[in-house]
Amino acid sequence: MVPNEFSNLTADVDVQFTLKQVTRKQSNRRSWGTRDRMKRSSRGGVDAIDTSRNLNIWICNIGGGILGYAQFPGGSASTDGVVISPQYFGTQGYVSAPFDKGRTATHEVGHWLNLRHIWGDGGCSVDDYVSDTPVSSTPNYGCPSYPTQHCNSNDMTMNYMDYVDDSCMYMFTTGQKNRMRALFASGGYRSAFAQ
Q: Considering CB distances under 5 to 8 angstroms, the limit depending on partner class, which of ligand ARG, Ca ion, none binds residue 100?
A: none
Alpha-carbon distance 57 to 53, whole Å?
Answer: 13
Kindly list the residues in this chain that would bind Ca ion in the complex (CB under 5 A).
128, 130, 133
CB count within 10 Å of CB 146 equals: 16
Alpha-carbon distance 184 to 195, whole Å?
Answer: 9
5 is catalytic: no
What sign has the CA pseudo-torsion 65, 71, 75, 76?
A: positive
Cα dihedral 98, 72, 12, 56 in deg (nearest 10): -70
Which one of 56, 85, 104, 133 is in contact with ligand ARG (CB under 6 A)? 104
Q: Select which of 108, 155, 162, 166 is catalytic.
A: 108
Strand partners, 140: none
Asked if 108 touches ligand ARG (CB under 6 A), the answer is yes
Asked if 103 touches ligand ARG (CB under 6 A), the answer is yes
- Nearest residue to ligand ARG, scored by beta-carbon proximity: 104
Residue whose CB is less far from ligand ARG, 139 or 188: 139
Contact residues toward ligand ARG (CB under 6 A) are 67-69, 99, 103-104, 107-108, 163-166, 169
Catalytic center residues: 108
